[in-house]
A and B are shown apart, each in its own frame.
Chain A
Amino acid sequence: MSNAENSNQYSTIVKDGLWDNNGVFSMLLGMCPTMAMTTSATNGFGMGLATAVVMAASSYLVAVFRNQITTEVRIPVYILIVAAMVTLVDLAMNAWMHELYKVLGLFIPLIVSNCLPLARLEAFAAKQPAFPALLDGLFMGLGFTIALTVIGAVREIIGSGTLFADASLLLGNSFKVIEMRLLPADMGVLMMILPPGGFIVTGLLVVVKRVLDLRAGKEIQMAGAHAV
């Protein structure tokens, strides 16, 4: 394959992951952390990054071993690889990002049963060489991070009037600058932070993506919600 074709393929992978085939807004996969961990933009960002690391690492490993894994046992093998990566991320976050680890809690081990990593392993990494697979895992993960941060930001701004509150506490002191208060404290609509807000904001943001895609003259995807 020539260099031009290569870089063309890579830019498709990047665009697919970040926008065109976004894990949350287009494929509607990985909804559980998407709803549960987006009460603030900071939480969404942290959750997304943890997932992105797991996705990149497991996509790479599956692609490397794709000729050794027999088709009959591939799903258990994928799950075990993802589970091993999740355990590493879990231990690392517990050691070095303890505050964030406490906030995300249950949803770090639950990355194992997030459909998004498994879907990408099955659809992409199982058939591709190691480098494109790594890229796909990474950018699908980053697309997931962006989606979670956006949902978190909308819910946080409407719900409590702040943006990236506690970022310095959760992510480290250098993130102090992005903490913002946009609305006075008593203007918040509590409903947005509570569970119903998660469903409603996600639903509306899927519509926003459809509107933007229509403006750009693309086909809008009416599919979705086909996964378990």
Chain B
Amino acid sequence: MKEFAMIMISAALVNNVILARFLGLCSFMGVTTRIDTAAGMGFATTFVITVSSMADWAVQTYLLDAYGLGFLRTVTFILVIASAVQFTEMTIKKVSPELFQMLGIYLPLITTNCAVLGVALLLVEGHMSFINATLFAFASSLGYSLVMVIFAGLRERLALVQVPRLFAGPPIAFIVAGMLAMAFMGFSGIAAS
């Protein structure tokens, strides 16, 4: 039990996907202008990361390792992820048409969100068991959603502030993100990575 808790805390907070590992930065900068879109994106990405990581783990163990096809890893993983995204898209369209409308173009683009491929590669390279891998993927994506929502909250405030013209837009957002990353470094004492 303690091991599972450590995996969760370490993946979600200490080695946060966005702020410590620098994965998924495009969506971090792109869809965090409003809290509800950021939360929807976090939700969809959580689903994709968990499902595709489980599938990628199975592919790696039973297909690539079993037949010595390790060099095809990048190509197969991206195909698995693209299918998982397609599946998510169909599910969301069916379950919540409003969310589907809201996410729009960003939904198919989860395929090129490096957090998805990155988490899959990390858990395969860490030689984790299936349960640990699933937990790791789920906790990582929770950490991703958390940071997306926090940053969207910051940017909603930032939009109302008078910023020097040259800093307007992305530059000030980067600097705020740097401060957020500093805050998250405070977690590094909790668990060994």
A24-43, CB under 8 A of B: which get 1 and which 0?
00001111111110000000
Instruction: Specify which chain B residues have a CB less than 8 angstroms from the CB of A79 in the assembled complex.
Output: 78, 82, 111-112
- Cα distance, A109 to B161, chains bound together (Å): 39
Q: A224 touching B26 by the CB < 8 A rule?
A: no
Interface magnitude class on chain A: 35 or more
Stretch in B94-102, B130-138, B175-183 touching the partner: B175-183
What's the nearest-Cβ distance from chain A to residue B124, in Å? 10
Tally of contact residues, B, Cβ under 8 A: 51
Chain B residue nearest to A114 in the complex (CB) = B114
In the complex, besides A31-B22, A109-B121, A225-B30, 10 extra interface pairs with C-beta distance below 8 angstroms are A32-B22, A36-B23, A194-B185, A196-B182, A206-B170, A206-B171, A214-B166, A224-B169, A228-B26, A228-B105
Stretch in A55-63, A83-91, A125-133 touching the partner: A83-91
Q: A residues near B, CB below 8 A?
A: 28-36, 75-76, 79-80, 83-84, 86-87, 90-91, 106, 109-110, 112-115, 118, 191, 194-200, 202-204, 206-207, 210-211, 214, 220, 222-228
Chain B residue nearest to A29 in the complex (CB) = B26
Give chain B interface residues in 40-84, CB to chain A under 8 Å: 71-75, 78-79, 82
22 A-B contacts (beta carbon < 8 Å): A28-B170, A32-B25, A80-B75, A87-B74, A91-B71, A110-B114, A110-B118, A113-B112, A113-B117, A118-B112, A191-B182, A195-B19, A198-B178, A199-B174, A199-B175, A203-B167, A203-B173, A207-B167, A224-B169, A228-B26, A228-B106, A228-B110
Q: A32 touching B24 by the CB < 8 A rule?
A: yes
